[in-house]
Structures are given as C-alpha cells and as structure tokens.
Amino acid sequence: MESQPQPQPQPRRPRGFAATAAAAAASVSPTVTPSGSAGASTASSGKGKREREKEKERTKLRERHRRAITSRMLAGLRQYGNFPLPARADMNDVLAALAREAGWTVEPDGTTYRHSPPPQHQQHLGAFPVRSGESPLTATSLKNCSVKATLDCQQPVVRIDDSLSPASLDSVVIAERDTRSEKYPSTSPINSVECLEADQLIQDVHSTEHDNDFTGTQYVPVYVKLSTGFINNFCQLADPDGVRQELSHMNSLNVDGVIVDCWWGIVECWNPQKYVWSGYRELFNYIREFKMKIQVVMAFHEYGRTDSADVLISLPNWILEIGKENQDIFFTDREGRRTTEFLSWGIDKERVLNGRTGVEVYFDFMRSFRTEFDDLFAEGLISAVEIGLGPSGELRYPSFSERMEWRYPGIGEFQRAAKLRGHSFWARGPDNAGHYNSRPHETGFFCERGDYDSYYGRFFLHWYAQALMDHADNVLSLANLAFEETKIIVKIPAVYWWYKTSSHAAELTAGYYNPTNQDGYSPVFEVLKKHSVTVKFVCYGLQICSYENDEAFADPEGLSWQVLNSVWDRGLKVAGENTLSCYDKEGCLRIIETAKPRNDPDCRHFSFFVYQQPSPLVQGVICLPDLDYFIKCMHAGDITGDLVP
C-alpha cells in the first residue's frame, strides 16, 4: 500500500515589524519562481504593502488608546484630586503637581528639593526625624481635630512607580492617596499633641495673622461700578442728588475711578444713527468735579430681563421692530425660541439693519461717543473703554439665559446663528445635547466618552468657537479705529460649573472649546493679543467653592488658574471684577490674593479691579464686609484693623 504524503507545516506568516522587514527585503531582491511568473512577485509586493498599511493602522489605534488613557488620568487628577493641571498638561506638569502634593518644592526652572524642618521643630522631636509627606500641626488643626483625626488630616503621599520608563510615563501614573495604614501602624508619641510646645503654636497663630498684611505689595487701582438706573430711558440724569451722594461716598473711600455703562438701547433708542448723549454729559461733569477717572462700557446688550430686576433696558426700539419682521437677527435655540439679549453675530457682515451690518452699527455708535466726548479723552478723564461683545457684556453666546428658564447649574444650550452662510449643516447643532437645565451625564453629547469627542463633535465645536472668535476680531478691529490710543477692555465669562467633568459642557455651549483634552482659551487670547486688549475676568469668593457634595462639579479656582496663566503667558494685561453676590472675610482675602499673588516669581498682578454691587453705596448695602479695608489692601497701604466677620 502506497503511503500518503504527510502535510508539510505552513511557514508562519510574519507580523508587525517582521512583515515590514520581509516586504522590504522582497522589494530589494525579488525572487523569481521556476516558471518565471511575474504575477507571484506582484502579489507578494501587494501583500507586503497591505501589511504595512495594517501595521500603521494598528499603531494609530495604540496611540489613540494611549492618549485616551492619559486624558482620563488627567481628568481624574483634576476632578478627584483638585490638581491644577493645564488643559494640555505634559509630564512635567504632572510630575511637578505630584511632587508638590508630596511636600516637595518645585521651582519654575525644574529645581526640586524638600525643605528641611525648622530647628525648633527638630529640637522638640528629639531623635525622631520628620517623615516624608508629613506636615507640622497648626493651631487650627489642633483645635478642630483629635489625635486620630489629625492623623487623617496629614498630607497624602504620592508615589511614582520606579519601574516606569520615560516613554511610558505619559501613559501611567500611580498615585497612592491613602497610605495611612502603612504610615501609622500604631499611635506613637511623635504624633501626639504633647510633642508640640506652646511657642510653636504661638508662631503658627502669628504666621496666619501676617498672611492678611498686604503692605508693600503691588498697587492695584480700584474702580467702583456706578449703579444702573441713574440714566433713564430718555437719556436723562434721573437722580442728580443721588449721583452726588454716591460719588462723594466713593471719593471718601479713595476709589481710583468709576465704571459707567453707556447703553446702546438708550442712546440710539428710537431712530437709527440718532444719538442722544445729554444725560451722560451731565453725569460725566459730576464725576469730573470729584476728579475721578472714568472707564466707559459700550453696552450693546439688554439689561434687567429677570423677575428681580428694578431697571429694564432693552435693545433699541428700531432694532426690535426689525426683529419682528426678520427674527434671524437674533440667536435661536434648539426649539426655535429667539433671545433678544444680543444681536446674532451671524449678521456681523449682513446688511439687514436698515442697510447696515452688525459691526457697522457698533462702529457708528462707538465713533459717535468718541466724537461727542473728545474733550474728556483729551483731558485723560476717560482712561479706558470696555467693548461689549455678548450677553452681559461678556464674550460668549447667550447659552444660559434666565429668560429661557435656565437655572444654575444647567449646561445651557447651543445657539444658532441662522444667517451664517455656507454652514447650514453645522449651524443646526447636535440633537442629543439636552436642554438648558440638563446635566452632562443625562445627554449623549456631553457624557463621559460622549459625542463631543467624535469627529462630528470636534468639527462642530471648533466651528462654533471659531464663530465667536471671528465676532470678537471683527468688532475689535473697528473699536481700535474708533478709540485710537485708548485702552480697550474685553470681559471674559467665568463658566466654572461642570469644570471638573471631562466635557466642560457649560463652557462648550458658551463658545469655549475647552474640554479636558483641549485648551479652549489660548486661541481666544491670541485673537485678543492681536488687538492689545486688557482682559477682565470675574473673581469669586469662597461661597461657591464648597467642593463637598458639589453636584455641579464646579471649580472656579481651577478655571481662574487656567485663564489667568494663559493670559499672562501671552503678555496681556489682566483686570478683575467681583460678582454681585456678597463676600465673607475669607472671600475678600481670596480676591486680593488672586489680584496680586505674593508667591508669584514674576510679580504678576491685576492692572485694576472693578467692584460692582446691585445697590447704590449710599444705601449702606456694601457686599464686601469692609470696602475701605478691601481698597487699602488693593492699594498696599498701611493697614490697621481687620475685616468685619
């Protein structure tokens, strides 16, 4: 019986880099079969090319996977560890943050070291060295914590796996935030309260007292915003005596100047290009008597469309009449509702306002003001002009309007600019982005790994943010023509809620493409740098900074850190403004620390600060506990006394 031939094992097909090398070798010295078939060689070459393409795709997938892991880790460090990492954090930023968390000092040039304990501390501890990651107890901690609670309050230890190679550091960071079981196996005398002497406690108390002394710091001018309502809808000064009283009170507090809103809806109310400035002329004459500087706001938005508003200032009547016939001059939301807070920048270059474009209307208003008050500019009485670029004068979309029943901390809604030509598909916006009061996790667009990071989402968000920046660029170009050699100010919103989530949903609907894997403020500040503006940013006290049980994942401090550093890095000047909500003592001091941080190596500080309140100063409704003390701190004068608790 003839034996059957045994099947020969098939050679193993090379994969990955081996396939690439084999294909390259085949292309250099092709083998010819005994039959001399050229088709086999061609097939082999085509097969090698396909393998190379597949390997490229696999490499891209691995890189995307690695970046996704990095993005989630950075988001976790920001969200759960309160690490102030920039939007485009590299490993230097991560390592520096982890080192500082562990108690190390990291200088701007990368020099890293650990401070040695003070001599008296070592003397009290005797032969026991201070352990890595521990911090000395303070009087406050002794007052509020028992011995066991004090151990729980120790700074966490953060470690990085020594086995990680430099190439893999951007993929994996091991952070051990709870190692009390290893550090404190048992209670020892070194961790007891008795080991700290009375003089150490006194030093701690004195050090906190000196923290409130701002003598010798940079001088930050303080401007107070004049109450809305002194100019009525007929551009008349409604209460001259009240104006005098308020200005007199400001002058007694050594305020550097006042902020005055010049309302488009009042000055050009009835007919296009018919400007009435009489009330403002009278007001400015009163301010001139007190020899205070004036910053004016070109207010192109409406004011007071809420239940609690005492004053109502709409857009000009002739604009509203045009809007009845052509509602596309206003923004519209997902349900087709229009908002009259501000004109849509879809008509910035559309001649739909009685033959003028949106930017031409703004320019004519600014030019009229500059011509009318040329004498005040010549005297230097008007020191700066703020250009309103959106709702509330802020550079943003009307995405969280109370008129549309938005309530904090809703994510807001994308707004459509119907007249934007050539972008009808993108202008519709996503259909799974929820409504004004939705939460990110309730939507398919803003949830974790949602559509905001898809190809469509990235393209739409880039287009949406670019339209906002184009509007700023167009208006500021004409503002610089109208106000030559005058300081121009632009107000940036502080959309701090949902900042600790990956999508930053509220910022996205407002027009800032700033999720955790994207820096949305740098492109905006590049546009503003082009026009050499001063950026004004809203500062918050501590009343909204309670992170425990925070359902909105708010982080005003993290947002401020990102915005201020991004502005300063571009060499732009920064100013601050408070919210209308009241501040306690700690909130007041926090604002001052933000305005002129004492530990900043570059001595950066605000160029000025704007204090605003809802009621006139003469009524005694002062939101800051002691405005006089606050101004002295900003002025860096000799300060005595303390804030009212």
Catalytic residue ranges: 394, 577
For residue 398, what are its two tokens?
A: 């009307």
Angle ∠(381,385,390) on CA atoms, nearest 5: 155
For residues 231 and 276, the answer to whether their CB atoms sit within 8 Å is: no
Residue where the block lists tokens 């050594």 = 254
Q: Taking Cα atoms as reference points, which of 203, 194, 103 lies closest to residue 150?
A: 194
Q: Taking Cα atoms as reference points, which of 589, 501, 592, 511 lies closest to residue 551?
A: 501
Rounded Cα gap, residues 47 and 53, in angstroms? 10
Rounded Cα gap, residues 247 and 287, in angstroms? 7
What is residue 609's three-state secondary structure?
strand
Rounded Cα gap, residues 477 and 190, in angstroms? 65
Query: Is the bond preceding 11 in cis, omega lying within 30 degrees of 0?
Result: no
Rounded Cα gap, residues 93 and 85, in angstroms? 7
For residues 45 and 27, the answer to whether their CB atoms sit within 8 Å is: yes
Rounded Cα gap, residues 100 and 94, in angstroms? 10
Residue where the block lists tokens 């930050």 = 220
For residue 531, what are its two tokens?
A: 């026009």
For residues 156 and 177, the answer to whether their CB atoms sit within 8 Å is: yes
Q: Which amino acid is at 265?
A: G
Residue 537 pairs in a beta bridge with 492, 576
Rounded Cα gap, residues 448 and 79, in angstroms? 13
Rounded Cα gap, residues 27 and 265, in angstroms? 75
Element (H, E) at 77: helix 38-81
Rounded Cα gap, residues 323 and 157, in angstroms? 61
Rounded Cα gap, residues 384 and 487, in angstroms? 5
Q: State residue 502 phi and psi, 5-degree precision.
A: -75, -30
Angle ∠(295,296,301) on CA atoms, nearest 5: 140
Q: State residue 26 phi and psi, 5-degree precision.
A: -65, -35
Residue where the block lists tokens 């939460």 = 439
In angstroms, what CA-CA distances link 252 with 260, 381, 477?
A: 19, 19, 39
Rounded Cα gap, residues 545 and 566, in angstroms? 22
Rounded Cα gap, residues 227 and 342, in angstroms? 21
For residue 170, what are its two tokens?
A: 């951007």
Strands, E assignment, 152-244 = 222-225
Q: Taking Cα atoms as reference points, which of 568, 576, 557 lies closest to residue 603?
A: 568
